[in-house]
Structure 1
Amino acid sequence: MIKLLPSWWKSRIFARSSIDNRYALLEACLIGFLSGISALFLKSGIGWLGGLRIKATYLFDPHLSLPIVGLLLGILAGWAIELLAPAAAGGGIPQVKAVLAGYPLLINLRVALVKTLGTILVLGAGLTLGRRGPTVHIGAALAAQLSRWIPNSPTNRRQMIAAGAAAGLAAGFNTPIAGVLFVVEELMRDISGLTLETAILASFTGAVVSRLFGGTALNLSLAGRTANFTAVEIPFYLILGIFAGILGGLFNKGVIWGTKFHRRLPISMPLRIGIAGLISGLVISFLPNVFWDHAGLRTYLISGNLSWQTTAIAFAAHFLLTILAYSAGAPGGLFAPALVLGAALGYLVGTAQYALIGEFSAFTFAFSTYTFALAGMGAFFTAVVRVPVTAIVIVFEMTADFNMVLPLMISSVVAYVIADSFAPGSIYEHLLDVSGIHLDEESPTNDFLTELTAEDVMQSQVETLATNLTIEEVVTAMSLSHHRGFPVVKGDKLVGIITQSDIADDMKRMEGLFLEDIMTPQPITVSPDISLADVLYLLSRYQLSRLPVTEGNKLVGIITRSDIIKVEAQRLSGDRDVLIQAGPSYVIYKTRSPSTGRGRILLPIAHPDHAYPLMQMAIAIARYQKYEIECLQVISVPNYVSPSQAKVEITFSRHLMHRMERWGRKENIPVHTQVMVATDIATAILETATHDHVNMLVMGWKGNTDPHEQIFGNVVDKVIEHTTCELLLVKLGDRLQTFPDDLDDQGKWLIPITKGGKLPKTMKILPGLVSLYNKPNTPEINLCQIYLPTEEKTKFKDVTKLAQAIADKTNVEVKATPLSAHSVPEAVTNICKAEFYNLVILSASNEGLLHHGVWGNIPEAIASKLETTVLIIRV
């Protein structure tokens, strides 16, 4: 869920909320308008250039003018595409289908403009292609460009591109319903609410604009003629469907074979399209002049004004010349050629029907062939494009004759079944396969940003600032951090956000102000389960660089542009496993307490004997930090066993968890528990830490490693490597009761730091642990500064100040001791043995200790030489 919480507006904003839907619908209207205008411009350009070509045939010998015009305009179109936008080649619908499936093909304003120019040149040259496929591509490209100018989420952008495609088809045919159905049936196969709403609105707008501003509908109705249909004609419509299915399948096979053949030719695209134009012009020049105008030819076929011999020639010529032009990569579509071929086929079947049973028919020859021609258009369109519903609706919308519905349904359904049996699959998917793009029907999009959530990549450890800080204190805090923006909290609630730019203008003007006076209150936030696609949408739309992640008012993380860029870079580099892929785990026992803390400690319990001392530490820290505790026990099963089906005994685990709960109630600390079955213990721990937004992870460590293990052990090493929360490793000494049972015995604690160390990160846990002791028997704490013999003790005064700061925080006397040594592990080991410290606290963020702790020197020394309890904290 995405929330926008300005003071003047209390409602929430989400990508699918009503207010964002209204923005999407307005964008769909604009897309429809632009698609309609572009369709009008395309139609006018083709008509103007085609008219010049026809005039040239009257001025010059058509056997010369038609081939030469086809050659020159074809080369010019191919040159423009190759030079300006290679993505504008071809029909365009395969490219749109691939983009909607999530493939990163180029689709933008340049593609739309070059596609328009190339289509005008190609169709004006006389190639037997259509302009409706290009209008689909142009509409989708305009929508894609608009979605870049108007920041949008990838999910909504995909819906806008689909709306643009629908608007392009609707504007080309003046068939708004068919535009929507084509998107649903072929391009997206998605009937979600927003997809339908935007597609319908864009299609309607595109069709209205096309009609109002001079675009005439592709009117298939002839004056005085209506479709007729009788039961005796049903067998002939079945025959029409069979022929359309077979010939449509052959047509698709020819296009695919031709495309493969042209790609193997060692000639450039301009020359391929030019040769196709030359051959088309040459063939057409030897045919009757009615063939010179493709739009007029369709009218002749529907009206029945041609003989069956001429119609057969028209079918054969268009069949071969369309395959030639389309497979050469010319920018044109298959819709119009399919309709022309279907009209010719229907006319031929209608003529045969009338010749056989015409004397028993109550209708004239013209009415009968008219109906068969229209039915043939729908049947052949279905056989080629494999969208029977769209085909039926296109013809019906262009005739507005209800008598056509049954003939269309019979012939189209039969054609679909026969064609899919003879040549299965969509021609557009086959063309994409030729290009090396294989669509996955099970997953309509491979956009991984929709698969990942904010929780997957957010930073769970967030640097926050309090509202009561002065501006000077805020500047100081910012100077010590590498971050440029900080959430502002009041108690444990997020109340605002502050960035460096908010205070960089005039520091004098801000004197005497507090952070709450200049922060941005009630910032935009996201919930952990929102997709990265929608996070990116918010970042772009509101020009932000970071977004707090919250559950209710509780801050659980922050996500920045850098986090998303990092994920994208890892994916592009081939690292598909950009996150910790939690193995299969199964929760078999779980209890919840009231969630009243401002953070959470995760306490994995691996050994029952260690549960008491670890829980004792966790409660002490939770009381001080006002945290809750999540107790976790993971039962491991072999990899070949499914955790959800594993049979395990949990009686002891349940009793142990009950004891942890009772202990928490006694100490007034919320304690949650769960028992999981998993094939990998570390993965289960990481999964829980991420899911429950853990602030600190307290883990026991056995203190020694097997030869085949790495540093701390396989489980701990994996957790250290991948967790982002605060981490406390506990190596228990020989006496498991690190803190005496009666809490009256005085302990001795050692906190070693290196030269120049700052206030230890141990302050996160130290006050809580000290509170376990009863006064006056509080522990003796030695803050020991270790430096090399070659170094001088120039910074020892700073360590004395640190010791005093710890004393003030814990109300315990802290001694500061300098110690010269060549090795940090050696120094820690020697001083512990000499003075019998029962607790050593190491900060893994201290310079030197971090390196040694990670690379193995400190763990081996502790495991082999020390019998005391050791805590290693990483913050």
Structure 2
Amino acid sequence: MSPPFLNQYIRTVWQPRRGLAIAEACVIGLVAAFSAVCLKFGSGWLGTWRVHGSHVLPAWLFLPAVGLGFGFLAGLLVERFAPEASGSGIPHVKASLANVPVKLSWRVALVKLLSSTLTLGSGITLGRQGPTVQVGAALAAGMSRWVPTSPDHRRQMIAAGAGAGLAAAFNAPIAGVLFVIEELLQDLSGLTLGTAIIASFIGGVVSRLLGGRSLLLNLELTRSSSSFSIVEIPFYLILGILAGLLAALFNRGLIKSIQIYRSFHISLPLRIALAGFISGTVIAILPESFRDNTGLREFVLAGEANAPVAAIAFFAQFILTLLAFGSGAPGGLFAPSLILGSCLGYLIGVFEFHLFGLGSPTTYALAGMGAFFSAVSKVPMTAIVIVFEMTTDFNLVLPLMVGSVTSYLVADKLIPGSLYTKLLELSGICIENPPPIEDTLSNLTAKDVMQRRVETLDAQISVEEAVQAFSRSHHRGFPVVEESKLVGIVTQTDLLKIRDRNLAKDTPLREIMTPQPVTVTPIHSLGNVLYLLDRHQISRLPVVEGRRIIGIITRADIIRAEADSLNCKTREHGPQPEPSYVVYQTRSPSIGRGRLLVPVANPETAATLLRMAAAIARDRHYEIECLQVIIVSRQSSPAETPVRTTKSRRLLRDAEALGKKWKIPVHTQIRVTHDIAHAILETIKERHIDLILMGWKGNTSTPGRIFGDVVDTVIRQASCEIVLVKLGKSPQSRIQSPEFRLLPIASIPPLSLSPHLPISSSPLRPPQFNRWLIPMAGGPNARAAIKLLPALVTLGNDPKIRLTRVFQPSESEPDMRILEEAIRILIRRRKLSSTVVAAPVKADSVTEGIINLVKTENYDVVVLGASREGLLQQAMKGNIPEAIASGVDSTVILVRGAINT
């Protein structure tokens, strides 16, 4: 079976049906359980080695060294390979389930697994349950990418993976389901509940079978020691109140700890290494029972600890957890919460036993675990069920309910809302009561989704010219304007009036247009737009302010906005990137008529791009703005993150030197940002850029993108003129074809050449710029591309230009008017000193015709006019620019004219 048919078969079979969801949930449960067991045994083995080493070597030296080394390695893994794996991981899962575009993938799962193993093995006082939740969710997310399902189905699978991870960590399947319902997804639909139950059950059972118990409790001891009587209710209420108060203090401390660490301006590996070093030092001072968190927990629950030891354990665990969690170390809060609760409950139990001789400290310790966990995570039902499932002791149910509910009410009164939501808000992500997709779309307006660039026709043109405009464009209708004011609209249906009325070809367009068209204003909601489209059975609506047309909105634009909302691509759903931060800049005299922006990153191509920028700048008397962008993790603020700028400054200094040589003002700056496109757009706005020249690799692997995330965003949002350049491969020897064998329409005689810019001194051989091919397809950007030619051809020694137009074999005679108009524009540009010929080429497709022509005639450069019209619109169907760029070794330049806003 061939790959295309195999892919189609998989897509047909793996559809989002209930049977598929159940099967996928089973697989997710197995994988999550296996990862949880790996984390338990891996961290347990490292922990055993660490404890054993502390008895062989001096503990005051060995424990801090292990904490420092393992902490640094864990931070390095996270920072280099998956910044999303820092911290607990549960906030990331919650954000993903709330339609925030947070990355969850197999790589995140693997990095989380390895880094958490190192963190827990280093002795840092965090737990493994939070990481298993993120690992399970990330594995489910990675698996769901194999199956072409809906966003809702993917969210259900991620929730099932999170529940399976928690169930496997605690050996508590019911708790896994409740945690998904109570904290993460808050969805009780049948499919969601069913998949969560299946995945959690399989995760818990497989984890237990593989020996992945989280608490090795002596169940006989807890059953015989646990007791409860009515007179103890006040003490459990006191336990709940104290747990709520201390948990609220604990949550505030966690947030403050994160803020303090961020104020230090040090990298993640150093932060975790510092936390590991301090934890190791403190644990080395404490009794030996404190060196193993699991052992300490069993020590308290078994009733072997006395009140002073329990108090020291509570205080030390409280402080060390704040210290560790604030550093961003990959580890969770479940285990520390249970240890703190057990110590607090044990102290209350000892007090009550000495005062009245009632109760059991072990029972209070177990009730305290649920109470403190409930108050920290704000999940009382999950807290009760976790402790019950771990002990299977029915005598604990009432104490757990009293303590957990009381602590939850107290903590929520002091600090309302979920801790995980507040942790997300620290990173700029707000998911509190996210609006449903329908509400989001109803809040969008015509201004948010309209196309700002509008092709219009003048009311005075003839119907013949209108027919030609339709034949050159993909549009099925055009607004008709007169003196820049909207007076009507003409569609393909209106063209039938020409035949029905036997109108002459020179009849003015106003005779067949539809006058007084239905319009909307920029503030109309999409609901109103959809109503008007359906009410009048039309496919497009002009957007007007007064009578001036400022945009147009089509059914396709609304579908695209809905798809973006479903796929979490709208700005309303995602974390807003912080403004970029300028860490370095130089300024030259502002003597130019405009500014040209050149983002530089690759030293191998920067020199050639700067040559092209200089050619344009000299022709238009522009200044050059060179921009270097440094990316930092979204976990860090651009204004607060230390970066190294040595290499970037070296490249910018080279640009300044070239500017002095060419006598062109060159400004430079380095920006630190979360998003490259965002930094470029900020620079365009702040520096009043007139033209941006960017390098382009010639293809993109991002689904749904034309040129790639950065370039697509810049093309869509930047109002200035845009030039994209894919530099061609430099041939060692190029076979020069004979002179053009085509009769030129016009030949521009050589004039005085502008001085050629110096060839780069780069060790790589620069591309050639002598033989130029310019396909013409009409549209507003063909003119912009032609206007750039006089400047760009100065890059060559003996430039020759061919204008061409691809026409279908079915056409008897090609339309040469576009080429003739381009020749006239070039003739008016008296600076041009090149031989120009114009000749069409016959081919079945634009891509095939251009690629064959380039390979046959050995052209050095292909210049395309690219925008939402013309070739770019065809690119959305077949991606013509990418096909041409990847199909030829020559340099490809794409031009999009400025947008009038």
The TM-score with structure 2 as length reference comes to 0.50
Query: What residue identity is the alignment partner of 2:220?
Result: A
Q: Which residue does the alignment assign to 1:251?
A: 250
For residues 81 and 35 of structure 1, the distance between their equivalents in structure 2, rounded to whole angstroms, comes to 20
> CA 1:190–1:681 in structure 2 vs 1: closer, same or farther (change >3 Å)?
closer
Mapped pair 1:146 → 2:154: no
State the secondary structure of the residue aligned to 1:105.
coil
Which one of the candidate residues 709, 712, 732 is aligned to 2:547? 709
State the secondary structure of the residue aligned to 1:189.
coil
Which one of the candidate residues 128, 132, 135 is aligned to 1:135? 132
Query: What residue identity is the alignment partner of 1:106?
Result: K
Query: What residue identity is the alignment partner of 1:382?
Result: S
Query: What residue identity is the alignment partner of 1:321?
Result: L
Q: Which residue does the alignment assign to 1:689?
A: 533
Q: Which residue does the alignment assign to 1:808?
A: none
Mapped pair 1:112 → 2:109: yes
Task: Please list the CA deviations of residues 408-451 of structure 1 after superposition, one character each: whole Å capped at 9, or x if unmatched.
Answer: 01011110111111222211111111111111314267997999
Alignment check: 8 A CA contact 1:236 1:349 kept = yes
Q: Which residue does the alignment assign to 1:621?
A: none
- Map 1:222-621 to 2 at 5 A: 222-226=219-223, 227-358=226-357, 361=358, 368-443=360-435
Task: Please list the CA deviations of residues 157-216 of structure 1 after superposition, one character each: whole Å capped at 9, or x if unmatched.
Answer: 111111110010000001011001111111111111111111111111111211122223
Query: What residue identity is the alignment partner of 1:168?
Result: G
> CA 1:693–1:181 in structure 2 vs 1: closer, same or farther (change >3 Å)?
farther
For residues 526 and 18 of structure 2, the distance between their equivalents in structure 1, rounded to whole angstroms, comes to 43
For residues 387 and 68 of structure 2, the distance between their equivalents in structure 1, rounded to whole angstroms, comes to 34
State the shift of 1:686 in Å: 6.2
Q: Which residue does the alignment assign to 1:27?
A: 24
State the shift of 1:268 in Å: 1.2
State the shift of 1:376 in Å: 0.1
Alignment check: 8 A CA contact 1:103 1:446 kept = no
For residues 536 and 399 of structure 2, the distance between their equivalents in structure 1, rounded to whole angstroms, comes to 61
Mapped pair 1:83 → 2:73: no
Mapped pair 1:182 → 2:26: no
Task: Please list the CA deviations of residues 248-294 of structure 1 after superposition, one character each: whole Å capped at 9, or x if unmatched.
Answer: 00100000000011011121111111111111111111111111111
State the secondary structure of the residue aligned to 1:229.
coil
For residues 686 and 298 of structure 1, the distance between their equivalents in structure 2, rounded to whole angstroms, comes to 61
Alignment check: 8 A CA contact 2:89 2:330 kept = yes
State the secondary structure of the residue aligned to 1:332.
coil
Query: What residue identity is the alignment partner of 1:299?
Result: E
> CA 1:330–1:682 in structure 2 vs 1: closer, same or farther (change >3 Å)?
closer
> CA 1:707–1:230 in structure 2 vs 1: closer, same or farther (change >3 Å)?
closer
> CA 1:694–1:253 in structure 2 vs 1: closer, same or farther (change >3 Å)?
same
Alignment check: 8 A CA contact 2:539 2:555 kept = no
For residues 355 and 151 of structure 1, the distance between their equivalents in structure 2, rounded to whole angstroms, comes to 63
For residues 374 and 66 of structure 1, the distance between their equivalents in structure 2, rounded to whole angstroms, comes to 30
Q: Which residue does the alignment assign to 1:169?
A: 166
User: Which is worse superposed, 417-426 or 436-445?
Assistant: 436-445
State the secondary structure of the residue aligned to 2:102.
coil
For residues 170 and 373 of structure 1, the distance between their equivalents in structure 2, rounded to whole angstroms, comes to 22
Alignment check: 8 A CA contact 2:14 2:148 kept = no
Q: Which residue does the alignment assign to 2:849?
A: none
Q: How many residues align?
A: 494
Which one of the candidate residues 95, 100, 109 is aligned to 1:98? 95
Alignment check: 8 A CA contact 1:89 1:330 kept = yes
For residues 364 and 132 of structure 2, the distance between their equivalents in structure 1, rounded to whole angstroms, comes to 28
> CA 1:89–1:389 in structure 2 vs 1: closer, same or farther (change >3 Å)?
same
> CA 1:399–1:63 in structure 2 vs 1: closer, same or farther (change >3 Å)?
same
Query: What residue identity is the alignment partner of 1:385?
Result: S
Alignment check: 8 A CA contact 2:441 2:526 kept = no
Q: Which residue does the alignment assign to 1:63?
A: 60
Q: Which has the larger radius of gyration?
A: 1
> CA 1:691–1:298 in structure 2 vs 1: closer, same or farther (change >3 Å)?
farther
Alignment check: 8 A CA contact 1:385 1:426 kept = yes
Query: What residue identity is the alignment partner of 2:166?
Result: L
Query: What residue identity is the alignment partner of 2:399?
Result: P
For residues 527 and 440 of structure 2, the distance between their equivalents in structure 1, rounded to whole angstroms, comes to 22
Mapped pair 1:158 → 2:155: yes
> CA 1:682–1:68 in structure 2 vs 1: closer, same or farther (change >3 Å)?
closer
Paired-residue identity, %: 52
For residues 385 and 696 of structure 1, the distance between their equivalents in structure 2, rounded to whole angstroms, comes to 50
For residues 295 and 524 of structure 2, the distance between their equivalents in structure 1, rounded to whole angstroms, comes to 72
Structure 2 unaligned spans of 5+:
1-8, 451-470, 477-491, 501-515, 558-810, 813-901
Task: Please list the CA deviations of residues 370-427 of structure 1 after superposition, one character each: whole Å capped at 9, or x if unmatched.
Answer: 1100100000001110100000000011111111111001011110111111222211
Q: Which residue does the alignment assign to 1:813?
A: none
> CA 1:450–1:305 in structure 2 vs 1: closer, same or farther (change >3 Å)?
farther
Structure 1 unaligned spans of 5+:
1-8, 459-479, 484-557, 559-600, 604-613, 618-632, 640-678, 700-705, 726-797, 800-875
Q: Which residue does the alignment assign to 1:551?
A: none
State the secondary structure of the residue aligned to 1:225.
helix
For residues 683 and 216 of structure 1, the distance between their equivalents in structure 2, rounded to whole angstroms, comes to 54
Task: Please list the CA deviations of residues 600-627 of structure 1 after superposition, one character each: whole Å capped at 9, or x if unmatched.
Answer: x999xxxxxxxxxx9xx9xxxxxxxxxx
Task: Please list the CA deviations of residues 489-523 of structure 1 after superposition, one character each: whole Å capped at 9, or x if unmatched.
Answer: xxxxxxxxxxxxxxxxxxxxxxxxxxxxxxxxxxx
State the secondary structure of the residue aligned to 1:329.
coil
For residues 231 and 180 of structure 2, the distance between their equivalents in structure 1, rounded to whole angstroms, comes to 36
For residues 84 and 635 of structure 1, the distance between their equivalents in structure 2, rounded to whole angstroms, comes to 53
Alignment check: 8 A CA contact 1:108 1:145 kept = yes
Alignment check: 8 A CA contact 1:222 1:303 kept = no
Q: Which residue does the alignment assign to 1:809?
A: none
> CA 1:202–1:348 in structure 2 vs 1: closer, same or farther (change >3 Å)?
same
For residues 431 and 437 of structure 2, the distance between their equivalents in structure 1, rounded to whole angstroms, comes to 9
For residues 681 and 290 of structure 1, the distance between their equivalents in structure 2, rounded to whole angstroms, comes to 64
Query: What residue identity is the alignment partner of 2:533?
Result: A
Query: What residue identity is the alignment partner of 1:443?
Result: P
The TM-score with structure 1 as length reference comes to 0.52
Query: What residue identity is the alignment partner of 1:39?
Result: A
Query: What residue identity is the alignment partner of 1:122?
Result: T
> CA 1:229–1:84 in structure 2 vs 1: closer, same or farther (change >3 Å)?
same
Alignment check: 8 A CA contact 2:442 2:527 kept = no
Alignment check: 8 A CA contact 2:14 2:147 kept = no
For residues 202 and 309 of structure 2, the distance between their equivalents in structure 1, rounded to whole angstroms, comes to 40
State the shift of 1:694 in Å: 5.7
For residues 388 and 545 of structure 2, the distance between their equivalents in structure 1, rounded to whole angstroms, comes to 77
State the secondary structure of the residue aligned to 1:126.
coil
Task: Please list the CA deviations of residues 318-356 of structure 1 after superposition, one character each: whole Å capped at 9, or x if unmatched.
Answer: 000001001100000000000000000000000000111
Query: What residue identity is the alignment partner of 1:690?
Result: D
For residues 26 and 266 of structure 1, the distance between their equivalents in structure 2, rounded to whole angstroms, comes to 47
- Measured on the aligned residues, the alpha-carbon RMSD in Å equals 4.2
